[in-house]
Every structure is written in C-alpha cells, then in structure tokens.
Structure 1
Amino acid sequence: MTRDQVQSVQDDIAYMKALAQEGRQAPLLGGRILVTAGLVFGVAAIIHYAIDSGLIDMAPVAYLILWGSAMLIFFGALIFEIRRAEGRPGAQSAGNSAASAGWMGAGLGIFVMSLAMGVIGWKTQSDTVAMIFPSLIFALYGSGWAVSATMSGQKWQWYLAVGCWIATPLIAFLIGSPAMWLGYAAGLFLFALVPGLMLMRQEPTEVV
C-alpha cells in the first residue's frame, strides 16, 4: 500500500469519526412527545384519582372513556410531532435514530401490554391486573431513558432511568388505594413532562 493510499484510508477514518461524533452531539428531538405524554396521561391519572376517591361521581364506564380519550389525544399529537421532526436537521443522526427507536419500542410495549391486560381483565372479570399498569409504565420509561442516556452521552438522563426503575416497585405499594393514581401522575410529571421540557430547551433554532 502506497503512502497516498494509507493517507486516504486515514482521512476516511477521520471523516467517519467526525460524522459519528457530530451525530452523537446532535440535540435530541423527542422533548415535545415526552411533554405531551406527561401532561395528557398525568392529567388523566389525576381525574382517575378524583373518580376513585369520590370527588367526582361518575359511572365505571368513565374510566374507559377517560383513558381512551387520553390515548387518542396522545396518538394524534405523536403522529403530528413525528412528521414535524422528520424534516428537522439532526433528526437522522445516530443519537436521535437510536433514542427514537428505544422510545418507540417502549411505547409499543406499553400499548400491546395494555391490550393484553384488557383481555385478561375481560376474561377474568377483574380489574386487578390493571393495577400493574403504572409499574409497567415506569419500567419501560426507565429503558427508554437508558437508551437515550447512552446514545446522547447526557449523564443526567441516567438519573431518570434509575429513578423510573426505583419507582416501578414503589408504586406497587399503593395498589388498592386511590393515592396510586396521584403517585402515577407525579411520576409522569417527574419522568416525562419535566425532562421533556429540558430537552426542548436544549434544542437550538438550528439543530446540528
């Protein structure tokens, strides 16, 4: 191999390394989705608490309407935000692509597990299985933050991942009490809404 060929290989490696580093430093673009999830489902959890505790007098079908409406609102906002983010600079960077895939996996896991729990509840004629839902959410949110932290290099996101995993068994101690839904809402605000706002603030006018 000639000196020119060696230099060419070294230049190619340096170029690819620069691209990888640039992609790693691109700001994450999923903040608005997290804010929407935290706000929509957090408010729904507070309303659920109000119904459970007797502050609002409604028939049991209200739970289905409440969470069904929350799902529709969130999915509508999700589709809009995905389309909006696709054309933004940095959207196809390695960090954003991996983080997006991680959160998509967590979201799909939540959705299919909610369907499974609905089937189990219908088959058993019991709502006991639904009580595990908040714990499931925090477990999968922890996974999403772990992927995001790894790909972005932002250490503060690891605190969110660990916090979600700690909240997973702790929220289970509130099963059977309306307070569980207040704890669930607090967790959504803490692990989705607030960090989502932080990610939004990190986004410059022109993303790398």
Structure 2
Amino acid sequence: MTRDQVQSVHDDIAYMKALAQEGRRAPLLGGRILVAAGLVFGLAALVHYAAAAGVVMIGGWGFVVLWGVAMAVFFAALMVCIRKDKTKPGAHSLVNRAGGAGWMGVGLATFVLFLSMVVIAWTTRRGDVFLIFPSLIFALYGAGWAVSATMSGQRWQWRLAVGSWIAAPLIAFLTGSPLMWLGYAAGLVLFALVPGLVLVRQEPAEVI
C-alpha cells in the first residue's frame, strides 16, 4: 500500500469518526413520547389506585379495559409524535435512530407482555398476574434509559436507568396494597414525564 493510499484510509477513518461524533451531538428527540407515556399511563395508574382504594367502582375485567384504553390513547399520541419527530433535524442521526429503536423495543415488549398477561388471566380466571406489571415496566424503562445513555453519552440518563431498576423490586413490596398503583404513577412521573420534559427543553429552538 502506497503512502497516498494509507493517507486516503486515514482520511476516510477521520471523516467517519467526525460523522459519528456529529451524530452523537445531535439533539435527542422523543421527549414528547415519554411525556405522553407519563401522562396517559400515570393517569390510568391513578384511576386504578382510586378503584383499588374503593373511591371509584371498577370491577373484574374493567381494569383490563382501563389499561387497554390507555394503550390505545398512547398509541394514537405515539403516531403523532413520531410523524413530527421525523421532520426534525437530527432525526436520522445515529444516536436518535439507536435510541428510537431501543425505546420502540420497550414499547413493543410492554404491549406483548400485557397481551400475555391477559391470556394468562383468561385461562386461569385469575388477575393476580397483573400485579407484576409495574415491576416489569420499570425494568423495561431501565433498559430503555441504558440504551439512550450509552448512545447519547448523557450521564444523567444512567441515573434514570439505575433508578428504574431499583424501583422494579421495591414497588413489589407494595403488592396487594392500593399504594402499589399510586407508587407506579409516581414512578411514571419520575422516569417518563419529567425526563421527557427535560429532553424537550434540550431541543434547540430551531428544532422545536
């Protein structure tokens, strides 16, 4: 290999490295999706808490309907947010594509787990399986934040990942108590709504 060829390879590597670094500095998108998740599912968790505490009357499969409606509302909001984010600068950067794939995995896993729980509840005629739902969600959120933190290099997101993983077994101690659903709502605010608002605020004015 001649000196010119070696230099050409070095130039190509330097160019690819610059592209990667530029993509890493792209503003993180998807904050509005997290805000929607925190609001919709947080509200559903509060309604579930109120029903479990006897404040409102929801019986049996009414809880399945409650969460099913919440998922439908969130899915509609998700489609709107995705369409808007696709038009923004930086949407096709490596950090946003990888982060988006990670959170999409979290969302699909949540949906599939919910359907699986419905099947188990239907076949066993017991709803106890849904008591693991908050712990599973926090565990999945931890994975989503870990991917986002790794790709973006933003260390504060690692705190969210670790916090979500810690919250998963802790909330299990509230199993059987209406407070579990109140704690779940608080966790959604802490690990979805608030950080989602932070991400939205971090977007440059020209991106918003």
The answer to whether TM tops 0.5 is yes
Partner of 2:117: 117
Partner of 1:156: 156
Corresponding residue SS for 1:165: helix
Q: Distance in 2 between matches of 1:64 and 1:122?
A: 11
Partner of 1:82: 82
133-142 or 51-60, which deviates more: 51-60
Please list the CA deviations of residues 116-175 of structure 1 after superposition, one character each: whole Å capped at 9, or x if unmatched.
111001111111001000000000000000000000000000000000000010111111
Q: Distance in 2 between matches of 1:134 and 1:59?
A: 19
Partner of 2:50: 50
Are 2:142 and 1:142 aligned? yes
Partner of 1:172: 172
Q: Distance in 1 between matches of 2:3 and 2:65?
A: 71
162-171 or 4-13, which deviates more: 4-13
Partner of 2:201: 201
Q: Distance in 2 between matches of 1:126 and 1:66?
A: 17
Q: Distance in 1 between matches of 2:58 and 2:176?
A: 19
Q: Distance in 2 between matches of 1:85 and 1:151?
A: 18
> In the alignment, residue 167 of structure 2 is paired with which amino acid?
A
Q: Distance in 2 between matches of 1:46 and 1:85?
A: 29
Q: Distance in 2 between matches of 1:57 and 1:170?
A: 28
Partner of 2:71: 71
> In the alignment, residue 20 of structure 1 is paired with which amino acid?
A
93-102 or 58-67, which deviates more: 58-67
137-146 or 75-84, which deviates more: 75-84
Q: Distance in 2 between matches of 1:83 and 1:93?
A: 16
Corresponding residue SS for 1:19: helix
77-86 or 155-164, which deviates more: 77-86
195-204 or 84-93, which deviates more: 84-93
Aligned residues: 207
> In the alignment, residue 30 of structure 1 is paired with which amino acid?
G
8-17 or 169-178, which deviates more: 8-17
Compute the TM-score of the two structures, normalised by the length of structure 1.
Answer: 0.95
Are 2:108 and 1:108 aligned? yes
Partner of 1:15: 15
Partner of 2:94: 94
Displacement of 1:61 after TM fit? 4.3
Structure 2 unmatched runs, 5+: none
80-89 or 134-143, which deviates more: 80-89
Partner of 1:38: 38
Compute the TM-score of the two structures, normalised by the length of structure 2.
Answer: 0.95
Q: Distance in 2 between matches of 1:192 and 1:19?
A: 30
> In the alignment, residue 154 of structure 1 is paired with which amino acid?
Q
> In the alignment, residue 22 of structure 1 is paired with which amino acid?
E
Structure 1 unmatched runs, 5+: none
Q: Distance in 2 between matches of 1:57 and 1:115?
A: 24
Please list the CA deviations of residues 75-121 of structure 1 after superposition, one character each: whole Å capped at 9, or x if unmatched.
00101111111121111111111111111111111110111111001
Displacement of 1:7 after TM fit? 2.5
Displacement of 1:66 after TM fit? 1.9
